Amino acid sequence: MEVNRKSILLAWFSVGTIASVLSSMVSMLYWQFTYVEEPNVNWSPINDTLGMFMIMPFGWVMSIITPAGWLSVIGLGVALYKSSFKPLIVSVVGSIIFGLYWPKFFVAMMGI
C-alpha cells in the first residue's frame, strides 16, 4: 500500500475511532461491574451507553484541549511529516486514553 497523506489520514481516523470506541466500551463495562448503587437512585452506568456513543464525536472535538487529544494530533502530524504509519501509535495511545475517560466525562457532562 502506498503511503500518502490521504492513506495516513484515513488510517488515523479509522484506527483512532476503533481504539476509542473499544476502550470506551471496556471502561463502561468495568464501571458497570464496579459501580456501587446508591439508595433511592435507579441508575447504573450501562444505561447511558447508547447516548455515550452518540455524543462521542462531540467528545473527540472537545478532546483536542486535553493531553489525550494532543497525543492524537501530534501522532497525526508526525506521521504526515515523516510519511509513515509508525507515529500513529502515539495517536492510538491518545485515543485509548480518551476512551478510558470518556464514559465518566460524558455522564458528568450530561449531569446524570
Residue from 28, 39, 14, 22 nearest 107 by CA: 28
* pLDDT (tens digit per residue) in 80-92: 999 999 999 999 9
Query: Residue 36's CB: how many other CB atoms inside 10 A?
Result: 4
Residue from 111, 98, 95, 106 nearest 46 by CA: 106
Q: H/E element holding 35? A: none
pTM: 0.90
* pLDDT (tens digit per residue) in 6-57: 999 999 999 999 999 999 999 999 998 998 888 888 888 888 899 999 999 9
* Maximum alpha-carbon separation in the chain: 58
Residues in Cβ contact with 12 at an 8 Å cutoff, skipping those fewer than 6 apart: 72, 75, 76, 79, 88, 91
Residue given cell 467528545 in the structure block: 59
For residue 51, give the C-alpha cell.
Answer: 447516548
The answer to whether 79 touches 87, Cβ cutoff 8 Å, is yes
